[in-house]
Structure 1
Amino acid sequence: MAVLLLVGYLTQLLLPSTRRYLCLVPGRSIPCIWNVVTAGFLETSLLKLLLGAFGILMLAKVLEPVWGSKEFLKFVLLVDMAVGVSTLSLLYLLYVCGVDPKGKLLYAELGGSEGIIAGCLVAVKQLMPENEVTLLGFIRFRAKLLPSLFVVLAVVAGTFLGSALSTVPFVCFGTCLSWIYLRFLQPNSELNLRGDILNDDFRFATFFPEIMHPIIDKLTGAVGKYMCFPKASTDTSESLASIATAQLPESEKSDAARRRERGARALEERLGAKKAAAMPASADGKAPSEAEGAAGIDAV
C-alpha cells in the first residue's frame, strides 16, 4: 500500500490531468465512480505522501499480525470506500442545501490516505487501548487516545494550512465508519458474533473527554435502542454497549475479555522476540535495520 501511494503520487506529478479521474471529484464521480476508492491512495503533496506511507507501514506492523493479511486488506478497502462515498454524499448535500451554490466543492480535487490512517488508529484503540505510546521521545499517552488526537490535529492543521476540505471529512468519516464496522460488523469467529459490543472500553463515548461520557452514553444508548434494539425495555437508559451486553451471558463477556488479553499478549511477545533477535545482530553491526524497525514500532 505504501508503494501504491508512491505510484499514485508520481502518476499525478508526471501526468497532472490524471487527478480529475483519480482524485475524488464529486462533479465527475459519475461515470468515474472508481474515484471513491482511488482517492484514498492518491497523495498530491510530498509531505502527505511521506506521512501517509510511514503511517501505513507502522500501523500495518501492528494490525496485520493480529488480524491476518486478508482481514486487514478487507478492513482498509472497506474504510477507504466508505470514506469516499460519505464525502461524496456530504458535498452533494451541501450543494443541494445551498451551502455551495456555485458548485465549487463539486469540482474540488480531493485525495489522501488520512481516512485509512484514521481507521487503523481506531483499530489500535480497540486492540491495545492501555498500551503506552511515545511520540518524539518524550510525549507519552495511552493508545486509546490516538484516534481523538488525530482528529483534533487534522482539524487544527487543516484550518491553518487551508486544507480542511481535503483532510477533515476524510479523517472524521474514517474514524466514525471504522468504529461502526469494528463495533458492530466485523466477524468474530471465536464468539460467533459480529463486532465488539462486549468491550466497554470501545464505546463511542470513549472518543470524547471523560466528562462528556455520561451524555454521549445516553445519546448513543437512545439511538441504539431505537435503531438496533427496538425490543429492549423502555426503562433502559444506558449506553449502546450496556444495552447489548445486558442480553448476553456472563461467560461470553469473560471470553471476550480473555480474547482481548490473548491478542495483546501475543503482540507484545512478538515485538519482544523481534527486539531480542535484533539486539545481538545490531551490536555486531550486521543487522541494524531490524533493531531500528522494532524501535520504530515501539515508538509508534
Structure 2
Amino acid sequence: MPPRLNIPPVTRIALAVLGLQSLASLLVQRSRPGLIIEWLNLVPQLSIFYPWTFITTTLTEHDIISLAIAGFTLFHGGRYLERAWSSKEFAKFLLVVSLIPNFLCFLLLIAMFTLTRSEYWTLTVINGTTSLQISFLVAFSQLVPAHTVTLFRGVLSLRVPRFPLIYIGLITVANLTPWVSDASLPLAIFGFLTSWTYLRFYKTVFPDLDSSQPASMRGDASETFAFSEFFPAPAKPFVAALADQIFAILVAARVCTPFSQADISAAHGNNFHQRSAPGGVRAEAERRRALALKVLDQRLHAATSNPASRSQSIPPVQPSGPTVQTQPAANVQAAMTSEPATMLGETHYNPDHDNGEKDNS
C-alpha cells in the first residue's frame, strides 16, 4: 500500500483550486485558442467587473509545464510553511502575496496604457503563481538564513537569501520569450517586495512560553532578514542606505512603525518560533548542552577535591528549563528537519554569517 501523503489543509485546498482552475483554462484554450476567461483571469480591460479575479488568477495556469511547476512549488512550499507557521498564518500569507502583487501589477498596466494609449497593456493577462513562488523563497530566507544549497555536486554553493534575486533574473530572461506573459516580471518584483514587507513588519509571531516578551508581536527585526541581505556583499551598503531612506519616508507617512528596542532584543535572542527553526533550535540546544557540561565539570571538580565523596555516584545533570523537545517550537523543528532535503536539495548550516557571505558573494 503506497504511503499516504500528509498535506496540511490550506495547502490541500490551494492545490485543489489550482488544479481545477488550470484544467478549466486549458480545456477552454484547447477548444477556442486565444480566448480569455475574464471571470477567472485578471485582465485590466475585461475583468474590472469581476473583483474576485484579483485572487483566483493567482491559482490559474495556462499550460501544462507552468501547472507542473506551480503544483510542485505549492505542494512542497505549502507543506513546509504551513507546518512552520500554522494554517491560519499561512492562509493570511497566501492572501497577502496574491492580492497585493496582482493589484499593483493591475495599476502598472493601467499606467502603461495611459502613457502609450496602446490597448495591448489593458489586454495583458495577469495570472499564475509567480508571486507565490518568489514569496516562498523570501519566507525560506527568513526561516533558514544561514543555510546554503549545494548544486552540481559542490560546484555551486548558494545561500538561501540569494534565491529571490536569482528567480527575478530567470523571470527577466524568460520574459524575453513569447511563452511568458509581460506581467510575469512585475509580478515577481511586487511579490518579492510584498512578501518581505509583510514578514518584516506585519506578520504575527509568538515567543516561547518561558520568554518574558508579550503574548504576540509583529514583524522580524533580525539583522539576517534586513533587505540588504538579499544582495551580494558589494551592493549591500548602497542597498541598505537606500532602504533606510525609503523606510524613513514610510515611517513619516505612518505606513510602517519603527522597531522598538524590545523587538530588536527579542529578534537577537531568537525568542520567536519563526526565528528558531532550525537554526534557533540548534543554538538553544548548544547553549543548554554547554550549560549542562559546565555544571557537570563543577560537580566532578568538587567530587575529586572531597575524598569522602569519591565513592558516591554523581547524579545525572538535568539542564534547567524545559528541554528542546518540550519547547512549543518542536513541531516547527520537525517540519524544518523533515522537509529541506526534498525542497532545497543538499543544504548545510553555517552560523558564521559574515564568513559565509564572503565565501559565496
Which band: TM-score by shorter chain? 0.7 to 0.9
Which residue in the other structure is 1:15 paired with? 28
Aligned-residue offset at 1:54: 0.3
> 1:31 and 1:79, CA in 2 relative to 1: closer, same or farther beyond 3 A?
same
Runs of 4+ in structure 1 deviating by more than 3 angstroms, as ranges, are 134-140, 247-251, 253-261, 265-272
Higher gyration radius (CA) = 2
Higher helix share: 1
> 1:151 and 1:55, CA in 2 relative to 1: closer, same or farther beyond 3 A?
same
Q: Could you tell me the percent identity over the aligned residues?
A: 25
> In the aligned structure 1, how far is the partner of 2:152 from the partner of 2:218?
37
Which residue in the other structure is 1:6 paired with? 19
Asked whether the 8 Å contact 2:206–2:273 carries over to 1, the reply is no
Q: Which moved more, 1:263-272 or 1:85-94?
A: 263-272
Which residue in the other structure is 2:359 paired with? none
Say which of 255, 262, 266 aligns to 1:252. Answer: 266
> 1:269 and 1:36, CA in 2 relative to 1: closer, same or farther beyond 3 A?
closer
Instruction: Note the aligned Cα RMSD (angstroms).
Output: 2.8
> 1:194 and 1:261, CA in 2 relative to 1: closer, same or farther beyond 3 A?
closer
> 1:249 and 1:115, CA in 2 relative to 1: closer, same or farther beyond 3 A?
closer
> In the aligned structure 2, how far is the partner of 1:134 from the partner of 1:218?
31
> In the aligned structure 2, how far is the partner of 1:113 from the partner of 1:222?
31
Question: Residues 247-288 of structure 1, C-alpha deviation per residue, up to 9 Å, x if partnerless?
Answer: 44764344346655532235555555x5xxxxxxxxxxxxxx
Asked whether the 8 Å contact 2:85–2:274 carries over to 1, the reply is no
Does residue 195 in structure 1 map to residue 219 in structure 2?
Answer: yes
Does residue 299 in structure 1 map to residue 342 in structure 2?
Answer: no
Say which of 62, 66, 91 aligns to 1:73. Answer: 91
Question: Pairwise mapping of residues 163-174 of structure 1 onto structure 2 (< 5 A)?
Answer: 163-174=180-191
> In the aligned structure 1, how far is the partner of 2:55 from the partner of 2:274?
31
> In the aligned structure 1, how far is the partner of 2:150 from the partner of 2:87?
26
> 1:104 and 1:221, CA in 2 relative to 1: closer, same or farther beyond 3 A?
same
TM-score under structure 2 length normalisation: 0.67
Aligned-residue offset at 1:57: 1.0
Does residue 211 in structure 1 map to residue 234 in structure 2?
Answer: yes
Aligned-residue offset at 1:19: 2.0
> In the aligned structure 1, how far is the partner of 2:263 from the partner of 2:53?
45
Question: Pairwise mapping of residues 1-300 of structure 1 onto structure 2 (< 5 A)?
Answer: 1-16=14-29, 17=35, 19-96=37-114, 98-99=115-116, 101-135=117-151, 139-161=156-178, 163-190=180-207, 191=213, 192-196=216-220, 198-228=221-251, 244=259, 247-248=261-262, 251-256=265-270, 259=273, 262-264=276-278, 265=281, 266=330, 267=332, 269-270=334-335, 272=337, 274=338, 295-297=341-343, 299=345
Aligned-residue offset at 1:209: 2.1
TM-score under structure 1 length normalisation: 0.79
Question: Residues 88-113 of structure 1, C-alpha deviation per residue, up to 9 Å, x if partnerless?
Answer: 011111112x23x1211101223111
> In the aligned structure 2, how far is the partner of 1:47 from the partner of 1:162?
11
* Number of residue equivalences: 268
Question: Residues 213-241 of structure 1, C-alpha deviation per residue, up to 9 Å, x if partnerless?
Answer: 1111111112222331589xxxxxxxx99
Considering Cα pairs closer than 8 Å and 6+ residues apart, tell me whether 1 or 2 has the greater RCO. 2
Which residue in the other structure is 2:324 paired with? none
> In the aligned structure 2, how far is the partner of 1:127 from the partner of 1:195?
13
